[in-house]
Amino acid sequence: MALSKKLAAEFIGTFWLVLGGCGSAVLAAAFPDVGIGLLGVSLAFGLTVLTMAYAIGHISGCHLNPAVSIGLWSGGRFSLAELGPYVAAQVAGGIFGAAILYFIATGQAGFDPSAGFASNGYGEHSPGGYSMTAALLTEVVMTFMFLMIILGATDKRAPQGFAPLAIGLGLTLIHLISIPVTNTSVNPARSTAVAIFQGDWAISQLWLFWLAPLFGALLAGIVYRWFESDDES
């Protein structure tokens, strides 16, 4: 598959993740009387990945996330030569998704993206008031487990055809656990996209939502390679 087609697929997939996941949080989470709440937003993020895994998994691998690309690289499943272009396509797709969401949301009188816009944060900007240390640990561990699920579900020894279900449900569970702590990132592209439109504290705290997911993903790739080492030898 040509790299240009892979990058286009990653752009579209990350666009859908941000529009679907963050859109559910911005537009539907607290909608009067029929808001979907934390459970609905968690499910929405899982569904974006599940649907795109079936739609573009055979084209690009459906990473949709710089941390996933880093984890797959460290796990020996992805080429270093394609890492930079993948990350660029994911960030660009995420920003485009956030831009579409912004224009939809501002169609409602009084909407103010500076109030949050589904951004990730810690301290006073954590939904539950959790500290920077708690946020850092949460994002490292959640991303580590997300990559362990991805690497395991896509292993050639795993049951075939079920990886999108495991990955989508895994991301749903991660959101159920960590929305109160950080609003759940585990994805630097998702965090960057909405932070640009929030435009204030989300930008200043964005470093954590790159550092922690990338570290957790890198570690997961190393650990999963250890699980595979006996078979390789």
Asked if the model's pLDDT at residue 205 lies above 60, the reply is yes
For position 186, which CATH number holds?
1.20.1080.10
Please tell me the distance from the alpha carbon of residue 67 to that of residue 215, in angstroms, as a whole number. 8
Give me the mean pLDDT over the 8-20 stretch: 98
Q: What is the pLDDT of residue 140?
A: 98
Contact 41, 24 (CB under 8 A): yes
Domain that holds residue 168: 3-107+114-232
pLDDT bin (cut points 50, 70, 90) of residue 160 is confident
Q: What is the pLDDT of residue 38?
A: 92
Q: What is the pLDDT of residue 32?
A: 67
* Half-sphere exposure (Cβ direction) of 6: Cα atoms closer than 13 Å: 18
SS3 at position 157: coil
Give me the mean pLDDT over the 81-102 stretch: 98
Q: What is the pLDDT of residue 35?
A: 80
Give me the mean pLDDT over the 80-100 stretch: 98
pLDDT tens column, 174-193: 999 999 999 999 999 999 99
Q: What is the mean pLDDT of the chain?
A: 95
Asked if the model's pLDDT at residue 52 lies above 90, the reply is yes
Spell out the alpha helix ranges (H) of the chain: 3-17, 23, 37-60, 66-74, 80-105, 132-153, 163-182, 188-198, 201-204, 208-232
pTM: 0.94
Q: What is the pLDDT of residue 232?
A: 52
Asked if the model's pLDDT at residue 233 lies above 60, the reply is no
Give me the mean pLDDT over the 89-113 stretch: 95
Number of domains in the chain: 1
Kindly report each contact of residues 2-5 with a partner whose C-beta sits within 8 Å and lies 24 or more positions away, as own/partner. 3/82, 3/85, 5/59, 5/60
Conformation bin of residue 197: beta by default, left when phi > 0, alpha when psi is -120 to 50: alpha
**Percent of the chain topping pLDDT 90:** 87
Give me the mean pLDDT over the 94-110 stretch: 95
Asked if the model's pLDDT at residue 129 lies above 60, the reply is yes
**Percent of the chain topping pLDDT 70:** 98
Give me the mean pLDDT over the 115-121 stretch: 93
